[in-house]
Chains A and B, each alone.
Chain A
Amino acid sequence: MKSHSAWGTSKSLVKFRIPTSDNLVPIRLDIEIDGQRFRDAFTWNPSDPDSEVVVFAKRTVKDLKLPPAFVTQIAQSIQTQLTEFRSYEGQDMYTGERVVPIKLDLRVNHTLIKDHFLWELNNFESDPEEFARNFCKDMGIEDPEVGPAIAIAIREQLYEIAVQSVTSAKESRISKKGRRAGEFYSASKTGGNAVDLVKLFGNKSSVIRKRKEWDVYEPIVDLLSNEEVDALEAKEERNIR
């Protein structure tokens, strides 16, 4: 089987990384100090030196005029997430052919986004940012914070899936029998995420989706009024607490 360079061959082991063209880690911050809440999400390049973390934290606090107590918290949070990422880094993960569904359900300022699509996991040249850009362009979203938010949401999900594949790789190595049923991972073996490729792409089916399913996969972008935003925020905070 010939293989395109960007696409991992089945059952190949690759060092852990985010399966996108840029190995960027999604970082999410949600810090509360003295009643002030700071939420943010961004991507971080794990090959940056760790000294950059503190610099970034300081800069953020300065730009946003937060109380200085945030600096250490921010830096710590980033550092923790980075360390977690790095703990996976030396390990192997399977990059068999897997197409996973990605769901978006996020609110950025006034924009509410719901979406559902498929993402190929072993496409190491995939670019969430490009997807987000196209999305915003096509949907006519002007708020520039939406694009990055979408990209980060995608990355987070990919990150999670990659972590799962690392653990499953470990498991399969531990158990001698190994999970080598066929070349493709069926849904049950990978933790229920992946799509059954044979079913979808096999010769018997069409890749054109049935109409009734179109709604499922259609992106929904809602622009909310202020009251709705407030209401949603209140609900979110109640959920968290």
Chain B
Amino acid sequence: MEKIFQDLEPYSVPSYSNWFSWSNIHEVERFSLREFFDGSSITRSPRIYKEYRDFIISKYREDPSRKLTFTEVRKSLVGDISILHKVFTFLEKWGLINFDVKSDKEADNCNGNCKPISVGGEEEEEGWRGRVKVEEGAPYGVRVVAAPNSMKPVATLPPPPSVRADGGRGVGEVGENGFKWPPLASYSDVFGDSVQQEKKKVLACGSCKENCDSSHYEYTKEGSFILCEKCFKSGNYEKNKLADDFKLINSGDQSVVWTEAETLLLLESVLKHGDDWDLVAQDVQTKSKLDCISKLMELPFGDLMFGSANRKSKFLDVTGDESNFKQAQLHFNESQESAKVEDPSHGLKDEGQQNGYADTQGQPLKRIRTEPTSNTSYSLMNQVARISTAVGPHVTASAAEAAVTALCYENQCSREIFDEDDNYADLKASAENIEQKRAAQGNLLDGDERPKQSEIQGPSSHKDTIQINLRMRAATATALGAAAAHAKCLADQEEREMEHLMATMIEAQLKKLKRKMKYFDDLELIMEKENAHIEELEESLVADRLNVLQRIFDAGISRWRDHASVKSQTGSVQ
């Protein structure tokens, strides 16, 4: 064998493959194709491998200029086709076959990394191109109507070379029953775009063979001959073609410009047909399916159209709700602002109350639900407001009503403030309105009524607010006053009772004293009388003595001789 080889030119083998020798099996081979060397099967052995290898390389070297295909060799080899292929690719990878074969892509591959040639659509085509003569300049294929209904031409597969350009109906065939099959969606969906794009990109001018950039002239008679602008202007056509026969086609013209009518048509048909792009493309006759879809995506709300058939009603509802909510928000903000504007205009005793009120009105804005606190550090108004937010609006309204009536009944001056008919009604309505506004914050769905009511209340809210403030304050003051008066009454009564009791006590004492005094007076009288009496006695006694003495005298009594006798006399007197 080596003799034969000496006569011929040396075959070129890449330098990284110089381990190869006919007589040996190298480590590289053992490593890459180890299934031959591990004895796993009778179908694979080193001997068998060597036979495969030698045959393939020899076959290649029969004509090194042409690319050896696997198919050519595999018919001559016995063995599992997969393993044969493995050997083949191994040899090709190492450049032992098909090295330096023409076909630019392969040469690049081999010179560079020398991977096994990957199969891809483009490479396939180019490899094929190297083999088959291609009609000059024209993009492949004839425009073919794919299905009976569709107006749009489908980019068909290029006709096989043996079939002339008239044929190649491609996929859209008429079956026996006159039924035309549309192209399989998979292929045309996937590859149709890329082929079309290729077509667009690779528009080569017929005469100068350069790519036509933006616009080109198409030969109307034949339909597949194009010239770039330059050639057209320079008159560089083929012989038989006249200038008139060329039509100007601006590429990229159709797909960009969407007139309003087309857009309108598109939207209508999407709403009608939903996802069925074929029907949509039919309706919008001048635009292809892809154009429709891409245009729809560009439109600001176009995304919502996808699947719009289902979501149509929901979509409208959502927008309606949103607009209502925004309206409600707006009105509330307006009235809130107006309230805040008026507040500083009132001169108030208690600033704290006012701020508290404004705060609570503001608070429902920030937080949808406020927790009523029993924190007594807040002012009364604050507390009332909080409690009113905790209970429902109607409860609060009726409570306010009842309080007002009670106050009117009790106190005259408060009636002066409250007892005007329209004001009263306004108060009730506006009280309700306030409650409703607060409730609206927590409950967004009743958008319809609120805006209307708040609109009506809008102009009158200014006036109402003043009166409301005054009334609220008056009511509070009255309440406090009543309480104070009552307390005083009670106190007075207590005092009087105390005095009364004191008086009674004093009287009693006085009486006692008087009686005692009277008693003593009586005693005095008695004593005086006795005293008088006793004096009388005394006098009588004295008188008597005198009498006696007198008598004695008169009796001339002898002398005092007889003391005994005298004594006896006196004694007897006694």
CB distance from B30 to the nearest CB of A (A): 13
Of B73-81, B480-488, B520-528, the stretch lying at the interface with chain A is B73-81
How far, in whole Å, are A126 and B508 apart by their CA atoms in the complex?
Answer: 135
How far, in whole Å, are A181 and B535 apart by their CA atoms in the complex?
Answer: 186
Out of B35, B182, B185, which one reaches A4, CB within 8 Å?
Answer: B35
Question: Is the pair A110, B160 in contact by a Cβ cutoff of 8 Å?
Answer: yes
How far, in whole Å, are A4 and B41 apart by their CA atoms in the complex?
Answer: 9
How far, in whole Å, are A1 and B39 apart by their CA atoms in the complex?
Answer: 7
Of A85-93, A159-167, A168-176, A201-209, the stretch lying at the interface with chain B is A201-209
Task: Find residues 149-194 in chain B having any chain A CB closer than 8 Å to their own CB.
Answer: 149, 157-158, 160, 162-163, 167, 169, 171, 175-177, 179, 181-182, 184-187, 191
Q: Is B380 an interface residue (CB 8 A)?
A: no
Question: Is the pair A3, B40 in contact by a Cβ cutoff of 8 Å?
Answer: yes
Task: Find residues 225-241 in chain A having any chain B CB closer than 8 Å to their own CB.
Answer: 225-226, 233-234, 237
Question: Is the pair B35, A65 in contact by a Cβ cutoff of 8 Å?
Answer: no
Q: Which residue of A lies closest to B158 (CB)?
A: A142
Q: Is A2 an interface residue (CB 8 A)?
A: yes
How far, in whole Å, are A126 and B176 apart by their CA atoms in the complex?
Answer: 39
Question: Is the pair A120, B77 in contact by a Cβ cutoff of 8 Å?
Answer: no
Question: Is the pair A208, B167 in contact by a Cβ cutoff of 8 Å?
Answer: no
How far, in whole Å, are A123 and B84 apart by their CA atoms in the complex?
Answer: 13
Q: Which residue of A lies closest to B185 (CB)?
A: A63
CB distance from A60 to the nearest CB of B (A): 8
Of B43-51, B339-347, B510-518, the stretch lying at the interface with chain A is B43-51
CB distance from A113 to the nearest CB of B (A): 11
Chain B 75-107 interface mask (CB, 8 Å, partner A; 1/0): 111111111010000000000000000000000
CB distance from A181 to the nearest CB of B (A): 15
Q: Is A140 an interface residue (CB 8 A)?
A: yes
Q: With a CB–CB cut-off of 8 A, which chain B residues contact A117? A: 74-75, 81
Known A64-B182, A65-B182, A226-B169; contact A209-B75, beta-carbon cutoff 8 A:
yes
Question: Is the pair B181, A201 in contact by a Cβ cutoff of 8 Å?
Answer: no
Known A65-B182, A139-B71, A198-B42; contact A237-B176, beta-carbon cutoff 8 A:
yes
Q: Is B127 an interface residue (CB 8 A)?
A: yes
Q: With a CB–CB cut-off of 8 A, which chain B residues contact A144? A: 157, 187, 191
How far, in whole Å, are A226 and B164 apart by their CA atoms in the complex?
Answer: 11
Q: With a CB–CB cut-off of 8 A, which chain B residues contact A109? A: 171
Of A22-30, A68-76, A215-223, the stretch lying at the interface with chain B is A215-223
Q: Is B505 an interface residue (CB 8 A)?
A: no
Question: Is the pair B48, A1 in contact by a Cβ cutoff of 8 Å?
Answer: no
Q: With a CB–CB cut-off of 8 A, which chain A residues contact B75? A: 117, 209, 214-219
Task: Find residues 2-20 in chain A having any chain B CB closer than 8 Å to their own CB.
Answer: 2-4, 6-7, 9
Question: Is the pair B119, A133 in contact by a Cβ cutoff of 8 Å?
Answer: yes
Query: Which label, helix, strand, loop or mixed, suits the secondary structure of the B interface?
Result: loop
Chain A 99-115 interface mask (CB, 8 Å, partner B; 1/0): 10010000001110000
Q: With a CB–CB cut-off of 8 A, which chain B residues contact A206? A: 51
Question: Is the pair A134, B167 in contact by a Cβ cutoff of 8 Å?
Answer: no
Q: With a CB–CB cut-off of 8 A, which chain A residues contact B44? A: 201
Q: With a CB–CB cut-off of 8 A, which chain B residues contact A203? A: 47
Q: Which residue of B lies closest to A230 (CB)?
A: B176
18 CB-based A-B contacts, threshold 8 Å? A4-B35, A4-B38, A9-B40, A36-B179, A65-B147, A65-B149, A65-B182, A97-B41, A120-B82, A123-B80, A127-B82, A139-B71, A142-B128, A197-B43, A207-B52, A217-B76, A219-B75, A223-B162
A residues lining the B interface (CB < 8 Å): 1-4, 6-7, 9, 35-37, 63-65, 97, 99, 102, 109-111, 117-120, 123, 125-127, 130-131, 133-140, 142-145, 184, 197-198, 200-203, 206-209, 211, 214-219, 223, 225-226, 233-234, 237
5 tightest Cβ-Cβ pairs between the two chains A and B:
A63-B185, A120-B80, A138-B69, A217-B75, A218-B75
B residues lining the A interface (CB < 8 Å): 34-35, 38-45, 47-48, 51-52, 55, 69-72, 74-83, 85, 119, 124-125, 127-128, 131-132, 147, 149, 157-158, 160, 162-163, 167, 169, 171, 175-177, 179, 181-182, 184-187, 191
